[in-house]
């Protein structure tokens, strides 16, 4: 019997219009009534998750944001990890000359050097207003707060994101977790941050064996948790590589894929 389900948001729980279908809500509510731990686990910042999580899961469920860089449970942050300031500066310097938009997510704040259409797209799904300021000022903020970004998000055209992913992996291999959350988004985090690590931390806290877990996702930043979980489920809209990593492939995010997967394995 599975005791915990970890569900990605964009491209998985959410339809393309960022809404949650009634079928998905109902299936999740039924699971919680059965005493199953249901955790939303997303690349989004916490303030981009909470307006949705309040509709879907109980208040006493953990919420995993920024790919595991910032985890909330019962109104307390129970885990946080950040990219070091030197590594962040190195990534910033590597991005010079590329037509991309880096965003830096730190706890409940986020920063960028300029506003453009890519930033505005993210702002639409983020309740907190982005702080537009020179990078040097953001570095000073991190120094004063003795932290760094929990996640660096790099948005750009597909060919540039692929080139940058290769370049950053060459420069920071073994020092940072770097992978796409979609073809036009590259995520950069500490080695202590991944969705699989977040699952491991939470199941240890709740005394659940990983064989008793399900993870559902649709993209490259979900691959690790899909492989880690007792039952890894890929969405029908996932890239082929993610489907091949999964134990089971469900329907698409626009066709109640999460609800169908939960019915397959619980009801």
Enzyme catalytic residues? 8
| CA max distance for the chain | 54
The candidate with the shortest Cα–Cα distance to 203, out of 219, 176, 170, 225, is 225
Query: What is the layout of strands, in order, in the sheet containing 213-217?
Result: 76-80, 70-73, 63-65, 37-41, 4-7, 213-217, 231-234, 248-249
């Amino acid at each position: 019997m599975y005791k915990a389900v970890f569900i990605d948001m964009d491209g998985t729980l959410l339809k393309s219009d960022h809404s949650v279908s009634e079928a998905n809500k109902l299936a999740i509510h039924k699971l919680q009534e059965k005493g199953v731990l249901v955790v939303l686990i997303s690349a989004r910042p916490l303030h981009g998750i909470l307006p949705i999580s309040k509709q879907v899961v109980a208040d006493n469920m953990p919420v995993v944001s920024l790919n595991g860089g910032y985890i909330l449970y019962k109104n307390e942050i129970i885990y946080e990890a950040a990219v070091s300031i030197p590594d962040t500066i190195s990534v910033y310097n590597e991005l010079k000359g590329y037509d991309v938009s880096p965003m830096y997510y730190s706890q409940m704040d986020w920063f960028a050097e300029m506003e453009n259409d890519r930033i505005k797209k993210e702002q639409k799904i983020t309740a907190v207003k982005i702080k537009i300021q020179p990078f040097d000022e953001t570095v000073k903020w991190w120094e004063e707060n003795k932290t760094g970004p929990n996640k660096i998000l790099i948005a750009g055209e597909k060919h540039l994101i692929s080139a940058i992913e290769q370049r950053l992996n060459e420069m920071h291999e073994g020092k940072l977790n770097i992978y796409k959350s979609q073809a036009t988004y590259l995520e950069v985090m500490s080695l202590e941050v991944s969705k699989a690590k977040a699952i491991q931390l939470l199941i240890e806290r709740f005394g659940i064996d990983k064989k008793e877990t399900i993870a559902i996702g649709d993209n490259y930043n979900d691959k690790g948790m899909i492989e880690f979980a007792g039952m890894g489920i890929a969405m029908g809209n996932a890239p082929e590589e993610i489907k091949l990593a999964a134990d089971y492939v469900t329907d698409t995010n626009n066709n109640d894929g999460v609800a169908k997967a939960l019915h397959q394995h619980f009801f």
